[in-house]
Amino acid sequence: MSTEDPVLRLTNISKRYSGTYALDGVDFDVRPGEIHALLGENGAGKSTMVKIVSGAVAHDSGTLEVDGVARAFTTPRESVEAGVAMVYQEGSLVESMTVAQNLFMGDEKVFNNLGHLNVVARELLESHNFHIRPDVAAGALGVGQKQMVEIARAVHRNAKLVILDEPTSSVTPEERLQLFLSMQQLKKRGIGVIFITHMLDEAFEQADRITVLRDGVVQGTLARPEFSRDRVVKMMVGRTVEMGRVEPNRAPEPTPTLQVEDVTLLPVVRNMAFSAYAGEIVGIYGLVGAGRSETAMIVSGIMKRRRLRGGRVRLNGEPVRFRTPRQARKAGIVYITEDRKASGFFSHLTIADNIYLGHLCGARRLPFLFRPGARTSIAKRFVEQFHVRTLQPTKATVEELSGGNQQKIVLAKGLTRKPLVAIIDEPTRGVDLGTIPEIHAMIRALADDGVAVVVISSYLPEIQALSDRVLVARAGSIAAEFSLEEADEESLMFAAVH
């Protein structure tokens, strides 16, 4: 590890949103030729910090220096020109362009010489031991390969600092190894690396130093001789959150309502197996890339079964296969998405239309009959039942509502017909604190009504507040199971990263 002056230094950096600190007085630095891991739970402030460094977000106060020069980036382009390269988890390549075109975009001297472009691109990729054809479209690459192309592009642009955001969360084992080798090559070239990961094993293996963020505050920075799993886990958790808990009082049925048996969808789901009983809330905790949402989408017919490599799903003991979400809903399985804005509702439609469409999608018979009177009465009933704050459900659009009320609409839309199984993914993500207890009460009411409820959440206090049993997913399978009494934060976090 280099002992030179830092290529990046953050001093007392703060950022607030609506009066709440996302970052509060953060000090952080990266030296040339150093891999510095940035750890923290979801919502700890990691994303905000790297957005500031990469120019996507401006900081409110403090100092950001690159190579000793104070900077105040207002655009990502400014950070790139200063030598900062951001490799996003979801990628930033132009998928319709070839790998070579993506590598040299902006370099007109090379880009406009089509005969020379692929040759130079192949040489650049081979210098990193990346076995990727330069003439294929970027959209045809896997997640790991796309990140390799971005790393090669960063080196070509003479980046001084490369930020890797969860690079191994959705890659094959071979791509994971190649990404780690490329990180070591960056280190040898004297390039600083910020390595964001939830996996402690990866951080301990690759990093020279580890910094832990919690609730927007740096909890400490450890050098390699100080690395300790127990110490890092305690630094990552450590918060006190009061979320009302209703003690379970549910006798399990003899047969599970839902059984997931060794379901495999590589690379993210590997022999996933669990069950859920009528009247029970099963919490599934895990970190990014653990395969929880993918499993839910397999069970509910969203992901195509032809892509499965093994396993089966049973409903009330009988094997089931769903080609579409509507088939799953008709059978009694409903999935409440984690991304409400992208796929949870139709933002331009009224509240009443959204709720009634959910009701129609669960209908067992065709044709769908749109009945205005039924739409109004069903919408009114669920607006009242779910305490949606609106005066005119037949006129107000969903996009006009607050985040908490939008989430209530997503729940209402999925639950207009009582299901056998409700899989609810990140039920309170982006919801104001005052609405969280209301949503939790709705989920408990479902279980009290005999529904088998599966709650997927990355928020530990939520998992503890809702669950009768807690499962921990890691690397595509269930790594541990805890009773309510055993499910303390440290044990759950340890199981998620061990």
- DSSP-assigned beta bridge partners for residue 85: 162
Q: What is the pLDDT of residues 267-298, one digit of tens each?
A: 889 999 999 999 999 999 987 778 898 999 99
> For the ranges 120-134, 295-309, 341-355, which has the lowest average pLDDT?
341-355
Nearest by Cα to 407 from 442, 363, 360: 442
Alpha helices in 386-488 (DSSP H): 403-414, 436-448, 460-466
Which residue from 50, 53, 54, 43 is spatially nearest to 21, judged by alpha carbons?
43
- Report d(CA 126, CA 307) in Å as an integer: 32
Catalogue the long-range contacts made by 475-482 (C-beta closer than 8 Å, 24 or more residues apart).
Answer: 475/270, 475/289, 475/290, 475/291, 476/264, 476/267, 476/268, 476/269, 476/270, 476/271, 476/272, 476/290, 476/291, 477/269, 477/270, 477/271, 477/272, 477/273, 477/291, 478/272, 478/273, 478/274
Q: Residue 72 burial by CB count (10 A; 0-12/13-18/19+): exposed, middle or buried?
A: exposed
Q: Which of these, 320, 307, 352, lies nearest to 420 by C-alpha position?
A: 320
Q: Quick one: which H or E segment has residue 214?
A: strand 209-214
User: Residue 44: its pLDDT value, please?
Assistant: 83
Q: Which residues of 344-360 are buried (b: 16+ CB within 10 A; e: fewer)?
A: bbeeeebbbbbbbbbbb
19-33, 269-283, 356-370, 382-396: lowest mean pLDDT where? 356-370
397 beta partners: 350
With beta carbons less than 8 A apart as the criterion, state whether 481 and 216 touch: no
Q: How many helices (H) and strands (E) does the chain have?
A: 17, 20
C-alpha 423/C-alpha 444 separation (Å) is 13
pLDDT of residue 200: 83
Q: What is the pLDDT of residue 234?
A: 85
| Mean pLDDT, rounded, of the chain | 84
Mean pLDDT for the stretch of residues 430-444? 76
Tell me which architecture the domain covering 8-93+141-236 has in CATH.
3-Layer(aba) Sandwich (3.40)
Contact residues for 471 (Cβ-Cβ < 8 A; gap 6+)? 274, 282, 283, 284, 285, 478, 480, 481, 482
- Topology (CATH) of 255-332+419-498: Rossmann fold (3.40.50)
pLDDT at 75 > cutoff 60: yes
Residue 460 burial by Cβ neighbours in a 10 Å radius (0-12, 13-18, 19+): buried
CB atoms within 10 A of CB 234: 16
pTM (global) more than 0.85: no
Q: Does the pLDDT value for residue 258 go beyond 70? A: yes
Mean pLDDT of 456-466: 88
Closest CA to 256 of 294, 328, 330, 313: 313
Considering only residues 380 and 241, tell me which one the structure prediction assigns the higher pLDDT: 380
Q: Among 86-100, 195-209, 362-376, which stretch is predicted with the lowest mean pLDDT? A: 362-376
Q: Above 80 in pLDDT, residue 47?
A: yes
Per the CB < 8 A criterion, the answer to whether 75 and 31 are in contact is no
- Model pLDDT for residues 91-131, shown as the tens digit of each residue: 788 989 999 999 988 776 666 666 788 888 999 999 888 98
Lowest mean pLDDT among 199-208, 318-327, 422-431: 422-431
User: Where residue 367 falls among pLDDT bands split at 50, 70, 90?
Assistant: very low
* Tens-place pLDDT, residues 140-175: 888 888 889 999 999 988 999 999 988 876 676 678
Q: What is the pLDDT of residues 9-33, one digit of tens each?
A: 999 999 998 778 889 999 999 999 9
Percent of the chain topping pLDDT 90: 42
Nearest to 198 by CA among 335, 290, 310, 307: 290
d(CA 98, CA 35): 30
Are 95 and 128 contacting, i.e. CB atoms less than 8 angstroms apart?
A: no
Pairing between β-strand 310-315 and β-strand 318-320 as defined by DSSP bridges = antiparallel
Question: How far is Cα 106 from Cα 114, in angstroms, rounded to an integer?
Answer: 14
Average pLDDT over residues 320-349: 79
Higher pLDDT, 416 or 209: 209
What's the rounded Cα separation, in Å, for the pair 384 and 390?
Answer: 10
The CA-atom distances, in angstroms, between 367 and each of 179, 310, 331 are 52, 35, 18
Q: Which band of pLDDT confidence, cut at 50, 70 and 90, is reported for residue 211?
A: very high
Evaluate whether 8-93+141-236 and 255-332+419-498 have a shared fold.
Answer: yes
What's the CA dihedral at 248, 252, 258, 261 to 10 degrees? 110
Q: Residue for token digits 């093994």? A: 310
**Which whole-number Å values give the CA distances from 449 to 280, 421, 474, in the listed order?**
10, 11, 31
**Domain ranges (residues) in the chain:** 8-93+141-236, 255-332+419-498, 346-417
Q: Tell me how crowded residue 20 is: count the other CB atoms within 10 A of its CB.
A: 9
CB atoms within 10 A of CB 44: 22
| Position 358 pLDDT exceeds 60 | yes
